[in-house]
C-alpha cells in the first residue's frame, strides 16, 4: 500500500519532466515503458508503484498523459521540449483560439509573435478561462485572442492533442489581439 506521506505533486512533476524533456528516457514518439517509469520514480520514492502512476494520470486536471492501448507504455500528450512525433493529426481549428501568458512577455509577443520557445508547439486553448489559468502560472495573466481561422486560411497547420490542447508551430503577430487586460491600442484588432 502506498505511503500516505509520499509527495504525489513532486512525483507528478518528475513524471512530467521525464516524459516531456528527457530525450534519453522517451522514444521518438514520446513513449516510455510503464515499468521503466515506475523503476525510475522508485529511486526517489520507494513506495511508488503502478497504482501511484495511475492516480497521477487519472487525477491530472489537464489530461497530460496517455497510456498506449495495451497499457504498457505512457507518454505526455504535448509540451515536449525535445523533438518527438506524438503522431498528432492535423485538425481544423475554430475561428478563434486563446493563449494565456504573463504580462511581462506581452511586448515581446506583440513584436515577434508566438513561438514554442523551449517547446515544439505554441499551446492554444478554446476558452478564455483556460488561457487565464495558464497565464496565472507565469505571473499577472494576459489573454491573447488568436485568429486561428485566418491562420488556417493562410496555410498554417493546427493539431489537436489528445487532451484538447490546440497546437501550432508559431503564431505571427498579425493574428494576435490582446483580449484582456485591455491595454489601450494593443486591444484593437490588428489587420491581416
Domain ranges, residue 156: 97-187
d(C-alpha 81, C-alpha 68), whole Å: 21
Query: Do 181 and 102 have their domain in common?
Result: yes
> Are 60 and 117 in the same domain?
no
Q: What is the pLDDT of residue 179?
A: 84
In the DSSP assignment, the letter for residue 169 is S
The pLDDT value recorded for residue 181 is: 66
- Phi, psi (deg, nearest 5) at residue 57: -65, -45
How many domains does the structure of the chain reveal? 2
Query: Residues 111, 152, 149, CA angle at the centre, nearest 5°?
Result: 85
pLDDT of residue 6: 67
Assess contact for 57 and 94: CB atoms under 8 A. Answer: no
Phi/psi of residue 77, nearest 5 degrees: -75, -30
Q: Which long-range contacts (CB under 8 A, 24 or more apart) does 34-40 make?
A: 34/67, 34/71, 34/72, 34/73, 34/74, 35/72, 37/74
User: Which pLDDT score is estimated for 80?
Assistant: 85
Residue 54 forms part of a structural domain: yes
Mean pLDDT by groups of 10 residues along the chain of 192 residues: 64 93 92 96 93 93 89 90 84 96 93 84 92 89 96 96 89 92 42 39
pTM for this model (two decimals): 0.68
Looking at the fold, whether 59 and 132 belong to one and the same domain comes out as no
How far apart, in whole angstroms, are the C-alpha atoms of residue 127 and residue 122? Answer: 15
The answer to the question of residue 85 being in a domain is no
Considering the domain architecture, whether residues 109 and 57 belong to the same structural domain is answered as no
By DSSP bridging, strand 114-115 and strand 65-67 are unpaired
Q: Tell me, what CATH number does 178's domain have? A: 3.20.170.30
> Do 169 and 116 touch, CB atoms closer than 8 A?
yes
Nearest CA among 185, 155, 188, 182 for reference residue 170: 155
Cα separation, 147 vs 97, whole angstroms: 7
Angle at 169 between CA 181 and CA 85, to 5 degrees: 130
Amino acid at each position: 500500500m502506498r505511503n500516505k506521506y509520499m509527495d504525489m505533486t513532486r512525483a507528478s512533476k518528475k513524471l512530467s519532466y521525464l516524459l516531456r524533456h528527457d530525450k534519453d528516457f522517451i522514444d521518438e514518439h514520446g513513449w516510455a515503458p510503464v515499468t521503466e517509469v515506475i523503476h525510475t520514480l522508485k529511486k526517489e520514492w520507494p513506495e511508488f508503484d503502478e497504482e501511484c502512476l495511475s492516480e497521477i494520470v487519472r487525477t491530472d486536471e489537464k489530461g497530460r498523459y496517455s497510456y498506449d492501448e495495451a497499457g504498457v507504455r505512457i507518454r505526455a500528450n504535448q509540451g515536449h521540449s525535445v523533438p518527438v512525433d506524438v503522431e498528432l493529426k492535423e485538425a481544423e481549428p475554430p475561428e478563434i483560439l486563446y493563449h494565456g501568458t504573463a504580462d511581462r512577455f506581452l511586448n515581446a509577443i506583440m513584436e515577434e509573435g508566438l513561438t514554442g520557445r523551449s517547446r515544439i508547439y505554441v499551446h492554444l486553448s478554446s476558452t478564455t478561462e483556460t488561457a487565464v489559468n495558464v497565464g496565472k502560472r507565469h505571473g499577472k495573466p494576459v489573454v491573447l485572442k488568436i485568429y486561428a481561422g485566418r491562420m488556417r486560411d493562410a496555410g498554417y497547420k493546427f493539431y489537436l492533442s489528445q487532451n484538447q490542447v490546440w497546437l501550432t508551430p508559431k503564431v505571427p503577430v498579425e493574428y494576435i489581439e490582446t483580449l484582456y487586460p485591455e491595454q489601450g491600442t494593443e486591444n484593437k484588432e490588428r489587420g491581416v
